[in-house]
Structure 1
Amino acid sequence: MSDDIAGAPVTGYAPAPNRTTSSEDIPARLTFLRFLVRPLVSAHVDRPLFRDIQRYAKQIDGYCRRLDYQRTRMGDAVRLVRNPVMGTVSAPPPRLDLPSRRVLTLTTLLAAACEEVEGGVTLVRLSEIVAEITRSTDRALTPYDPDRLTERRALAKAAEQLEHWGILRKRATLVADLQEWTDSRTGIGAGYDVDRDALLLFVTPGTITLAAYQEDQLAQAPQVRAQRFGTTAWNSALDAAEPPESEPAEDPGQDEESPAAIWETQRQATRVVRHLRALVETPALLYGDLLPDEAELARVQRGLRAETVLGLIGGSIEARSEGLVWISTEVDCPATVDWPTHKTESWAALMIADKAGRDGHRDADGFVHLDTRDVDHIVEDLLDWKGHLFRKDLQGRPAETRTAAEEVLRWLGMLRTGPDGSWRLSPVMGRYRDPELIEPSPATHQDDLFTHPAHDATGDDAYDASLTPDSRRASSDHAASTEPDGEPA
């Protein structure tokens, strides 16, 4: 995040050295952070985390109250419920390898099928139940067809999702059984045990009901729809390229019980909770995402917000002219995203974003704007410059390279794209430096493969001194060498 806009110094907040801290505070905060990352924990999947959640249950319940969350336990499973506020939940960006929509649909249907079984069950039997559910429902749902290879593969991936959350436990069986059923529909697929406790916590109907009720309230107040909150840089459902500019004017004659008045009252009452959630979950609170009164409140009370977050998940807070950002101080932080990586799309996204940050128009809130043509030019320049180091399927393909970079940046929550392909980069992107791509250095016996002979006036061959191995820096994997300014989660 740049601080050149407002000229204000960077303020750092860290736990006060004279603050009384019990021996359980630090492990309790770390446990809560791990709980945020994995909100459904079964004892048989992650017993250490399950044990720690029970050990620090009192502290975690206190943290949940500050954020309007709930800790719910059912037998040997525990769930962190993020109650919706004003129809939305502040949550981290979905992971890059998020399953397809069809796999997610079949995951839900597979969980419903687990309700119909007791004890052990095979994937073949679950497949039959899912097919029966989709045939008998009156909802607009594409029927599941186990005769299709793509459908069986999607169901197998759905089963993997339920295994990850501890709802299905695979019995001792050959991996070939699952592959054989998936590929040719022969065999039992795999045998599972159903964890009823985890299954009951997998979906929380009360949360869905509350979100639907709040959505209905919003639908009855169309004049405040454009000022809806919860549509931030990280989970925007509306056109986030146009931030809110002003508050809706209040009608002096407006009924205090009208949907618009109720919605405005809720907005005022939930400001602090929503700001705290943004810092804990995303992990930045940007003033440009807020209405003027909320942005002013966040600026004035930035010290209070920082102190509260430090008491919830530790770390440190940086106060910048564009907002607040949480910085992890843990060596192995469970909330830290593994990025940038050695994959082409990872360091290409970083280089494109760095160039876009320098070439684009920076507004007063620190966001960088570029139209789609400018983005295309940046991608094409990068391909001309370093395209030979790209993965084969991206070499000479600017459209594919741009799509891959956009997916990475959106996954990180750093980019919002408009309907016309325009870019709006988050100020948080400024915490990362431009990587320097390094050419490989040849071995001694391979010098002739990496140097270019030049001819002098006598016709004798000579090596160009500017291309000698000593002038090259080594890299074993052609990857990007990056050094972030900080270590944001």
Structure 2
Amino acid sequence: MRALTVTKRLEEQSAFIGLLTQPLVTPTNDAKLHRLALRHQRQLTEWFRRLGYRLVVAGQVVRLHRTPHAGIVTTPYISRPPKGRELVLTLVAAAACEESDSTTTLQAISDHVRMITGVETSPVTAYDPEYGPERSILLLAVRRLEAHGVLVRRTRDEEMLKAWEANRTGIGAGYDIDRAALLQLLDPHTAALAAPPTGSDETQLLAATRWTRMLRILIETPALMYADLSEDDATYARAVAGRLAEAARTMTGGTVEVRAEGLVLILPPDHPWAGDATLDWPKTAAPAWIALMLCDAAGATGERTDTGAVLLLSHQVDALAATLHTQHYTELTDTFRQRPEQIRPTAEATLRDAGLLEIDSSGNWTLKPAAARYRDPAPSSCWYTHTLASEASE
């Protein structure tokens, strides 16, 4: 009996993590996660309610709606988010699918998108299928709908897609339309909450949602750092740190480090979707090593605050990057030997993705307290060869 209970809890936790990484699930886009979500729907609904989220099961579609609080959705920093045009065309393509039968093609979607955006009252810039980059963006939008299970591809010949993208020849690909998934793709109620009404009492709303907001930060981002919070939120988070840690452990099966500067959730590596929810860093590659070296040097030379953060002015960062290039020239790959100006932006992008760095408008650095976890980086025996191979393939 105990073995069954343990297995059930592991499945619930795996499905919880999985739905955070894949919020719209159908039998076609992730059959395993779909089965687990339906099997443990009651427990998952309760757990997501603790986060202030809504889990909707409509027929064969499972949809997690991340309800905004005060117009805010908790997400980690992304250095290369989808471009606005891609997201807009994704929504227009979804609207085009609503006007189609149960099946469609890439060319038919393209024709509908051109028609929808071509009317005078359209708030969207007209889509031009004769322009190659526009077709490429629409293909990205259609692939996004396919990943969400809204479109199910019937033809698997990638050459047909390439021919359509390059020369606008053929149908591109054929798709079945999952109308239940299409209906759940965008929820008007959730979208409305992303823009709270003018004049609403934001202070009162933030106070009323303090628990869920703190829990969201702990589960959805690399770490909950008190220094990143308002004074009221930080005081509250410190007072309920134990409860936050226990809630996160229960729902994810991970471990929570309770530190003076905040809380860090570490997901269990054996859960099927934990890898998708965890930043794969540092890698055995030059950009990661450069970021770690610059982070280590910044931590040693910057001004440390009472919260554990480290501050550096922009010119100090430039000096550290120049020193890294000089002192470690023989250990760098050709890319960074020949283009030392790429060291700083590469390190910044990597550290920001990892949730370890903030940069202000003047280029000044604020290293998060969690950066202290990474000290004395040294290249492994295989990192140089691995990086050269990666660069050669790009």
Regarding TM over 0.5, the answer is: yes
Distance 1:301 1:101 in 2: 38
1:404 paired residue among 318, 339, 346 = 346
Show CA shifts across 1:167-194 (max 9, x none): 1222124221111111112221111111
State the AA in 1 paired with 2:14.
L
CA deviation digits over 1:113-157, x for unaligned, max 9? 111111221111111111112211535533211111111111122
Separation (CA, whole Å) in 1 of partners of 2:343 and 2:114:
39
Is the helix fraction higher in 1 or 2? 2
Q: Return closer, same or farther for 1:159/1:391 CA change in 2, 3 Å cut-off.
A: farther
Q: Does 1:296 align with 2:219?
A: no
The aligned runs of 1:105-124 (5 Å cut-off) are 105-124=88-107
- What is the DSSP-based 3-state SS (H/G/I as helix, E as strand, rest coil) of the residue aligned with 1:433? coil
Deviation at 1:22, TM superposition (A): 5.8
Aligned to 2:252: 313
Structure 1 vs Structure 2: percent identity of aligned residues?
Answer: 38
Partner of 1:233: none
2:379 aligns with 437
- Tell whether the 8 Å contact from 1:32 to 1:60 is kept in structure 2 after alignment: yes
SS in 2 for 1:43: coil
Higher relative contact order (CA 8 A, sep 6+): 1
Taking a change above 3 Å as real, the CA distance of residues 50 and 388 of structure 1, as seen in their structure-2 partners, is same
Partner Cα separation in structure 2 for residue 310 and residue 155 of structure 1? 40
Q: Is the 8 A contact 2:214 2:224 kept in 1?
A: yes
Verify: 1:90 aligned to 2:78, yes or no. Answer: no
* TM-score (norm: length of structure 2): 0.90
Answer whether contact 1:389 1:478 (CA < 8 A) is retained.
Answer: no
Cα contact 2:51–2:215 (8 A) shared by 1: yes
State the one-letter code of the partner of 1:50.
Answer: H
Q: Corresponding residue for 1:211? A: 194
Counterpart for residue 390 of structure 2: none
Q: 1:183 to 1:331 in 2, by over 3 A?
A: same
Aligned pair in 2 of structure 1 residues 342, 84: CA closer, same or farther (>3 Å)? same
User: Alpha-carbon deviation of 1:342?
Assistant: 3.1
Q: Please tell me whether the aligned partners of residues 333 and 384 of structure 2 are also in contact (alpha carbons under 8 angstroms).
A: no
What is the CA-CA distance between 1:41 and the residue it aligns to?
A: 0.9
Aligned to 1:41: 25
Q: Which whole-Å CA distance do the structure 1 matches of 2:122 and 2:308 have between them? A: 45
Structure of larger gyration radius: 1
Correspondence list, 1:7-22, <5 A: none
| Residue deviations 1:454-478 (CA, integer Å, cap 9, x gap) | xxxxxxxxxxxxxxxxxxxx43744
Provide the rounded CA distance (Å) in 1 between the counterparts of 2:88 and 2:123: 12
Distance 2:293 2:126 in 1: 44
Aligned 1:78-477 pairs, distance under 5 A:
78-94=62-78, 98-136=81-119, 138-212=121-195, 214=196, 216-217=197-198, 220=199, 259=200, 262-331=201-270, 333-334=274-275, 335-438=277-380, 474-475=381-382, 477=384
Unaligned residue ranges in structure 2 (runs of 5+)? 388-394
User: For 2:383 and 2:118, how far apart are their aligned partners in 1?
Assistant: 55
Rounded to whole Å, the distance in 2 between the matches of 1:361 and 1:327 is 28
* Aligned equivalents of 2:80, 2:173: Cα separation in 1: 24
SS across alignment from 2:242: helix
Tell me the C-alpha RMSD between the 2 structures. Answer: 2.1
- Residue from 47, 52, 58 that aligns with 2:42: 58
Q: How many residues align?
A: 380
- Asked if the contact 1:383–1:396 (Cα under 8 Å) also holds between the matched residues in 2, the reply is no
Equivalent residue letter for 2:361: P
Gaps of 5+ in 1: 1-20, 221-258, 439-473, 481-489
Aligned letter for 2:83?
A: S
SS of 1:24's partner is: helix
Provide the C-alpha distance between the structure 2 equivalents of 1:283 and 1:476, rounded to a whole number of angstroms.
25
